[in-house]
Amino acid sequence: MSILSAPPAVSVALGVDYFPGLLDRAAQEALRDEVRAVLIEAPLFRPRMPRTGKPFSVMMSNCGALGWVSDETGYRYQPAHPVTGRAWPRMPPRLVDIWIRLAPGAPPPEACLINLYDAKAKMGLHQDRDEQDLAAPVVSLSLGDTALFRLGGRERGGRTRSLRLESGDAIVLGGPARLAFHGIDRIAPNSSTLLNEGGRINLTLRRVTRRA
């Protein structure tokens, strides 16, 4: 990755910068292959809802120092895979480079959550608030099938807008958007040829702890 500054962004709302086509096909393929390698070391697991134990429709894994997990006991970040007990694989340097380009000045990312959506998977409206550092933005990268992404405000029940996230797109949520409600309504099956098995991978890079 030779371009060290961020390409032009579309400001979708205050604190929401959208980078359509940030990654060209070659960069998407390289990232896809790195995610595959991570998933060999840290296999996908199916998270469950706190209390009820209801399974998520997405499968997850992580790389980086910390990984986000969810089970009957709650949501949390932890340094080890919930099934294998092993440390998460290191974050691929190309992900750290993207973070530096899109979140200049933010402390280094500690967690990369990997979400895998099949044709039927979705994610209900929620806020990301399990991080101690809510000043740092969240950087999201999409690979594979297009997703219909829904973005609201900081209050549940407010007005929302929809955005299509395509393979290679990035979106950065910071400032007033950091606590915005958001979710994935559905994915468009077979809209991309990047993943042989179909589906969509979302990578979400986050700073979790406050910088020392």
Q: Among residues 59 and 123, whose Cβ is nearest to ligand MD3?
A: 123
Q: Among residues 92 and 152, whose Cβ is nearest to ligand MD3?
A: 152
Nearest-CA neighbor of 142 among 3, 14, 52, 27?
A: 27
- Residue 178 interacting with ligand MD3 (CB under 6 A): yes
In angstroms, give the least distance from the CB of 149 to ligand MD3.
6
- Tokens matching residue 42: 């840290």
Query: For 21, phi and psi rounded to 5 degrees?
Result: 65, 30
In angstroms, give the least distance from the CB of 203 to Fe ion.
12
In angstroms, rounded to a whole number, what is the distance separating the alpha carbons of residues 183 and 115? 12
Options 69, 170, 177, 194; binder of ligand MD3; rule CB under 6 A: 177
Lookup result for tokens 């371009």: 3
Q: Measure the CA angle with vertex 148, ends 51 and 207; round to 5°.
A: 60
- Tokens matching residue 200: 């969509």
Q: Which residues within the stretch 108-147 sit at the binding site for ligand MD3 (CB under 6 A)?
A: 113, 115, 123, 128, 138, 140, 147
Residues near ligand MD3 (CB under 6 A) are 113, 115, 123, 128, 138, 140, 147, 171, 173, 177-178, 180, 182, 184, 202, 204
